[in-house]
Amino acid sequence: MSTAAAAAARGLKSVTRAAFSWKPTGRAQQTLAAAVSRSGVGLHSGARATATLLPARAGEGRYFVVEGEGEARVAAELGNAEPQSPLCTTLRSGSGVARVRTVEHLLSAMEALGVDNCRVEVSGGDEIPLLDGSAQEWVEAIRGAGLCEADDIGGQKLEKLAPKIDEPVYLRKDDCFVAAFPSSQTHITYGIDFPKAPAIGCQWFDTFLDADVYSSKIAPARTFCIFEEVEKMRGAGLIRGGSLENAMVCSMTGGWLNPPLRFDDEPCRHKVLDLIGDFSLLAQNGSQGFPIAHVVAYKAGHALHTSFLRHLSGMADVDQGTLA
């Protein structure tokens, strides 16, 4: 292992019984070449918020600073993910003081495009703007800002490490599951099934992952919901910022209310987008988050995604009651 890789490895937190190991990629950690901002409504709060992405030092990783919470950092790491966070992924600082919601689309774009270190300042609330419901605007923002190699506080480069699955591992709840198998490439197979909404039905999407594939085939896929469930979700204080402009809405009987779709299997592709964002939380100190593996998921969601990562890492025994 190179000196830079060894330095990066020393910064990683130790885990026990992990089914993966950290491997050098031969590439230096990256950050943004310039700051960039995007504003919009939050999916659940309905409040207008702004997320400003700023360059960060090598080894700092991706983290959030929420307006009104001082300089409390909320690191985009698995240990900060709330086990139960309906219809989104929520991170909370170790002290519990600061939180940030609906981080998955932004983290998905940063993970796929190689933004390893980034400070994200959130103002106007504690939720990342939904934008058009996909990650496409985040991809455009990141590419507009550009990437560069990051220096640590001593002016040194750090080699980017990647988690590599060493043995098969899986987690299931009822007929929903996530599994990962050793592979030389990052490969994703995802399935969904909505029998009550025939316009969605059963879909599968299979792809190898790199920045170009992500940008063209995954990032444009928008979030979606079932029309008949909207009133119940809003009654629970959720999706207050959701609309026909930032989500695909499908009726059980009438099909899509706001066509056209960007892809025939756009709902399934969006689930892959979410998976990448959630799996980015495996990253530590500027490492890659999504593992080098063949990841197969069926009818999974944010809770099962992050519970699988805890299971994979050997952090704790998974409480099946938290997977719903």
- What are the pLDDT digits (tens) for 249-305? 999 999 999 999 999 999 999 999 999 999 999 999 999 999 999 999 999 999 999
Task: State the residue for tokens 């504003």.
Answer: 39
Is the pLDDT assigned to residue 222 strictly greater than 90?
A: yes
Mean pLDDT score of the chain:
92
Neighbouring residues of 99: CB distance < 8 A, sequence distance ≥ 6: 66, 74, 82, 90, 91, 92, 93, 126
Domain 161-313 indexed as CATH 1.10.460.10 = no
> Does the pLDDT value for residue 86 go beyond 80?
yes
The ranges assigned to domains in the chain are: 27-149, 161-313
- Alpha carbon 244 to its chain centroid, in Å, reads 23
Q: What is the pTM of this model?
A: 0.92
pLDDT band at 85 (very low <50, low <70, confident <90, very high): confident
Give the residue-averaged pLDDT of 85-114.
Answer: 93
Instruction: Calculate the CA dihedral of residues 242, 174, 270, 135 and round it to 10 degrees.
Output: 70
**How far is Cα 65 from Cα 69, in angstroms, rounded to an integer?**
7
Cα separations in angstroms, 292 against 135, 194, 257, 321: 22, 29, 38, 29
**pLDDT for 152 beyond 50:** yes
Q: Please, what sign has the CA dihedral across residues 127, 56, 285, 144? A: positive
Amino acid 4: pLDDT: 52
How much is the average pLDDT of 2-29?
Answer: 65
**Do the domains 161-313 and 27-149 match in fold?**
no
Mean per-residue pLDDT for 164-190? Answer: 96
The runs of H, that is alpha helices, within the chain are 3-10, 104-113, 136-145, 211-213, 230-235, 266-279, 302-313
Mean pLDDT of 161-178: 96
> Averaged over 63-90, what is the pLDDT?
91
Q: Provide the 3-class DSSP secondary structure of residue 207.
A: strand
Q: Can you give the pLDDT at residue 150?
A: 98
pLDDT of residue 96: 76
CA nearest to 164, candidates 152, 148, 179, 181: 181
Span 49-59, average pLDDT: 98
Q: How confident is the model at residue 10 (pLDDT cuts 50, 70, 90)?
A: very low
pLDDT at 13: 39
Residue 72, pLDDT > 80, answer yes
Query: How is domain 27-149 classified at the architecture level of CATH?
Result: 2-Layer Sandwich (3.30)
Enumerate the β-bridge partners of residue 194: 201
Region 118-137: mean pLDDT is 97
